[in-house]
Amino acid sequence: MKTAPQICIFLLCSIIPIIAFGGGGDTTYIKTFNRKYTLQFNTWLTDIDLLVNPIGKEKDFRIKLQPNVKGQAGFAFGFKYFTLALGFQLPGTESDERRFGKSQYYDLSLGYYQRKYGGEIYYRYFQGMQRRRNDFAAETIRPDIYLSNGGFNFFYAANHKKFSMRSAFSQLEQQVKSAGSFLLLTNFQFRNLLADSSIIAHPIDNEATFSDLAGLKQMRFITFSLRPGYGYNFLSKTGRWFFSPSVFLGLGTGWYTSLSNIGFKTGLPVDMALHAKIFAGYNHPKWYLSAFYSHDSNINIFKSSLINYDTRSIGLNIGYRINSIGTKWL
């Protein structure tokens, strides 16, 4: 489990490459705001699941783990090119704890966007899961299961003179004419799963069903992937109203370790990845309002099973622009 100082060091070290490569000037397609700083409140709903699924089975053998986190809220601070966001679960919005258990959760991210390059650093932590029902076992509360993921996204926009990632992703500037761009996303990611005992239901926890993953109670991934994609800003009223979808698909590899009935095992996974964002709203020189949807999916295939980590969020951002925060170096 990562401590707070380790997370801070990870964020600081990861942002350096983005700063080094960022750049780009103004064009007739993109307008900067006089107010360079933003204060933002956001609220969202999140669905997260980790799926271990045997391949080629007629009945439902799936092991599906979900934390009991639904309604979240957070604050974000924009400093010219940086956006720092912190989220937490809203008390009372989780599902019935008697059925779904209780989960600890926090979410931390840092973004940096220029015209040509940009990046995001993120970390999520969950403690406490529910194992969902399948054809062989009922729902089970697993407070011992710990799940985390974090990583670094590096974006490149080929048509950066007409397409603005800062307008599409963070509303830190205003694109005034509709345009799109080929985008390339480079992702470095780690994912951790830890449990006191096997996450697989006892009646089906055997090698005939799950092969090397039978008895699985620990798994760690470190992966690197390239994900080509495309983004477009649909605009009206010289950029005040916007609809900005983007999608990335790619492959990668890396390194994993697992602990199951056969002991510790290491290998090189094939990592299939999807990353999608949609923002829509109103971008004013003094304030902005946007609704968003994001979807991340990673699929790793093993001898006779696949593991899918899936995150879906939908939410609302409300931001206000300010002239200065009294600190010259930001």
pLDDT digits (tens, 9 = 90+) for 183-237: 999 999 999 999 999 999 999 999 999 999 999 999 999 999 999 999 999 999 8
User: What distance in Å separates the CA atoms of residue 98 and residue 233, rounded to the nearest whole number?
Assistant: 45
Model pTM? Answer: 0.84
What residues have CB less than 8 Å from 242, skipping those under 6 apart?
Answer: 167, 168, 175, 233, 234, 235, 279, 280, 281, 282, 283, 290
In a domain, 243, yes or no: yes
User: What distance in Å separates the CA atoms of residue 131 and residue 145, rounded to the nearest whole number?
Assistant: 10
128 in Cβ contact with 95 (< 8 Å): no
User: What distance in Å separates the CA atoms of residue 296 and residue 189, rounded to the nearest whole number?
Assistant: 12
7 pLDDT exceeds 50?
no
In a domain, 224, yes or no: yes
In a domain, 330, yes or no: no
User: What distance in Å separates the CA atoms of residue 139 and residue 133, rounded to the nearest whole number?
Assistant: 5
In a domain, 240, yes or no: yes
User: At 15, is the pLDDT very low, low, confident or very high (cuts 50, 70, 90)?
Assistant: very low
User: At 328, is the pLDDT very low, low, confident or very high (cuts 50, 70, 90)?
Assistant: low
pLDDT at 12: 45
pLDDT, tens only, 230-264: 999 999 988 999 999 999 999 999 999 999 999 99
Q: Nearest Cα to 42, choosing from 321, 320, 322, 316?
A: 316
| CATH number of the domain to which 163 belongs | 2.40.128
In a domain, 130, yes or no: yes
Share of the chain above pLDDT 90, in %: 61
Boundaries of domain holding 155 = 4-322
1 pLDDT exceeds 70?
no
List the beta bridge partners of residue 204: none
What residues have CB less than 8 Å from 40, skipping those under 6 apart?
Answer: 75, 76, 77, 78, 83, 85, 317, 318, 319, 320
Between 85 and 330, whose confidence is greater?
Answer: 85
Q: Which is it for strands 218-236 and 179-194: parallel, antiparallel or unpaired?
A: antiparallel
What residues have CB less than 8 Å from 170, skipping those under 6 apart?
Answer: 78, 83, 111, 113
67 in Cβ contact with 105 (< 8 Å): yes
In a domain, 141, yes or no: yes
pLDDT, tens only, 44-100: 888 889 999 999 888 999 999 999 987 888 888 887 778 888 777 788 888 888 889
Per the structure block, which two tokens stand in for 308? Answer: 């899918």
Query: Mean of the per-residue pLDDT values for the chain?
Result: 87
| Residue 96 DSSP class | P
Say how many domains are in the chain: 1
**Following DSSP, what letter does each residue of 234-298 receive, concatenated?**
EEETTTTEEEEEEEEEEEEEEEEEEEETTEEEEE--EEEEEEEEEEEEEE-SSEEEEEEEEEEEE
Between 277 and 325, whose confidence is greater?
Answer: 277
Query: CA 181, 309, 67 angle in degrees (round to 5)?
Result: 120
In a domain, 329, yes or no: no
2 pLDDT exceeds 70?
no
In a domain, 161, yes or no: yes
Q: Where are the beta strands (DSSP E) in 80-163?
A: 82-89, 104-113, 117-131, 140-157
4 pLDDT exceeds 50?
no
